[in-house]
Structure 1
Amino acid sequence: MLARLAHIRNWLFDLDNTLYPHGARLFVQVDRRITGYIARFFDVDHDEAYRIQKNYFHTRGTTLAGLMAEHGVDPHEYLADVHDIEMDMLEENAPLAAAIAKLPGRKLIFTNADEAYARRILAQLGLGDSFEAIHDVHALDYRPKPEPSAYRHICDAYGLDPTECLFADDMARNLKPAKDLGMTTLWVDNGSEQAESAERDHVDFATRDITHWLHEILEEA
């Protein structure tokens, strides 16, 4: 494994359900708030709101992208609402912080969430000082993963050669555009992905525990 990673100079990490376990069920709170937001916005019941939510998620990449494109929703107002959640279930992960600190090269967060929300999560995990930058949905001009432009955007923004990047995400569908651009891909297969294709040709590595995987590759160095 280590020989296949010798070229990696840049480590890009998704946030939700990637840097913390899916079992923490943090994003369940966000998911429920999104459903509630849509129910109020369209004045529909829970089931219809959930249908609208997931339709946008699967066709637009994020629910927000669909709401903005078709209904002109203010992204700042929307994100402040859906990210107004408790994070007490997240625990500090010192082994993960130690592993990330030992990785050679640059480390960045690449997320469809916003920076304020990301910083709250990183603080809870003890990763507040682990990353050079957070490339969030605002920086992406609201064109989120898995839109190919999102991956080119982060590379252009930080002067990254995609062939020297590893990108880790809990959703395999978000890895395909990264692979197409030349990145090495890591799928954090922890059960969070929702009814996606079984095709995994674009996945170079897979793990159920990113902390364990990082320590494993570092021990081989």
Structure 2
Amino acid sequence: MIEKKNIESWVFDLDNTLYPVSANLFAQVDVRMRDFIAQYLRVDSDEAYKIQKHYFKTYGTTLRGLMTCHDMDPSPYLDYVHDIDVSTVEPSPELATAIRGLEGQKYIFTNASYDHAMRVMDRLEVSDCFDGIFDIVDAGYDPKPKAHVYDKFLEKFAIEPTKAVMIEDMARNLEPAANLGMACVWVENDHEWAKEGAEEPYVHDQTDDLLGWLQGL
């Protein structure tokens, strides 16, 4: 169990963490990634989908695969794939209240872009609850769970990891955080790629209800 009295920094993933996975924003992003690849590499949709998934599995994100294999400029890609309808995310004043009630600094640590993070946070009505955002650009386009990305994140905000909590829906992304001394909370997600590592000792706590978990601290 996490004891909030010892915590100075609260680190939240964005997608499928701050809002429920049932909002299914990734389905929209998934289609737009496929379509971007089809246009960029001039292949059909089926081939684009295969490339997309191969790069995700091999490089951690489709973006990193495209940059590594095709020397692609990341900016147009990020703008295109995040141009989605966020209205499936329900505003949550209760979540805003719960986050504001946490003592210490609060941060977003995401593999997505800053603009996408702001759109989602605005929709949730939690934008003013956070002290900073660390996005994929800050990470040099390298995704979680690459260990050096966590070092960059901690350095940017001068965070003491042994006094921090990380909350994340992709269980394997918690391993580097735990190795640095952070307390780690998995927000349960039924997707196979998100459950990988969920039974490992680096998951210190877990919940299927972020709001309820925060309120119960």
Normalised by the length of structure 2, the TM-score is: 0.94
Partner of 1:202: 202
Partner of 1:177: 176
Partner of 2:92: 93
Q: What CA distance in whole angstroms lies between the structure 1 residues aligned with 2:130 and 2:191? A: 23
Q: What CA distance in whole angstroms lies between the structure 1 residues aligned with 2:106 and 2:128? A: 11
Question: What aligned pairs does 1:68-147 form with structure 2 within 5 A after superposition?
Answer: 68-147=67-146
Q: Is the 8 A contact 1:163 1:184 kept in 2?
A: yes
* Structure 1 position 153, deviation (Å): 0.5
Q: What CA distance in whole angstroms lies between the structure 1 residues aligned with 2:156 and 2:144? A: 15
* Structure 1 position 35, deviation (Å): 1.1
Partner of 2:28: 29
Secondary structure class of the residue paired with 2:129: coil
Q: Is the 8 A contact 1:17 1:192 kept in 2?
A: no
* Structure 1 position 198, deviation (Å): 5.7
Q: Is the 8 A contact 2:186 2:198 kept in 1?
A: no
TM-aligned CA distance change 1:118 to 1:157, over 3 Å: same
* Structure 1 position 173, deviation (Å): 1.1
Q: What CA distance in whole angstroms lies between the structure 1 residues aligned with 2:216 and 2:65? A: 39
The one-letter code of the counterpart of 2:176 is P
Partner of 2:185: 186
* Structure 1 position 206, deviation (Å): 0.6
Partner of 1:211: 211
More deviation, 41-50/189-198? 189-198
Q: What CA distance in whole angstroms lies between the structure 2 residues aligned with 1:184 and 1:69? A: 33
Secondary structure class of the residue paired with 2:216: helix
Q: Is the 8 A contact 1:64 1:75 kept in 2?
A: yes
* Structure 1 position 191, deviation (Å): 2.1
TM-aligned CA distance change 1:111 to 1:160, over 3 Å: same
The one-letter code of the counterpart of 2:200 is R
1:124-178 CA distances to partner (integer Å, 9 max, x unpaired)?
0011101011111111111221110111111011111111111111100111111
Unaligned runs of 5+ in 2: none
The one-letter code of the counterpart of 1:80 is D
Normalised by the length of structure 1, the TM-score is: 0.93
* Structure 1 position 77, deviation (Å): 0.6
Q: What CA distance in whole angstroms lies between the structure 1 residues aligned with 2:91 and 2:35? A: 30
State the identity %: 46
1:92-112 CA distances to partner (integer Å, 9 max, x unpaired)?
101110000000100000011
Secondary structure class of the residue paired with 1:146: coil
Q: What CA distance in whole angstroms lies between the structure 2 residues aligned with 1:101 and 1:192? A: 30
The one-letter code of the counterpart of 2:190 is G
Q: Is the 8 A contact 1:22 1:192 kept in 2?
A: no
Unaligned runs of 5+ in 1: none
Q: What CA distance in whole angstroms lies between the structure 2 residues aligned with 1:180 and 1:76? A: 32
Q: Give the RMSD, CA atoms, in angstroms.
A: 1.5
* Structure 1 position 37, deviation (Å): 1.0
Q: What CA distance in whole angstroms lies between the structure 2 residues aligned with 1:198 and 1:168? A: 13
Partner of 1:12: 11
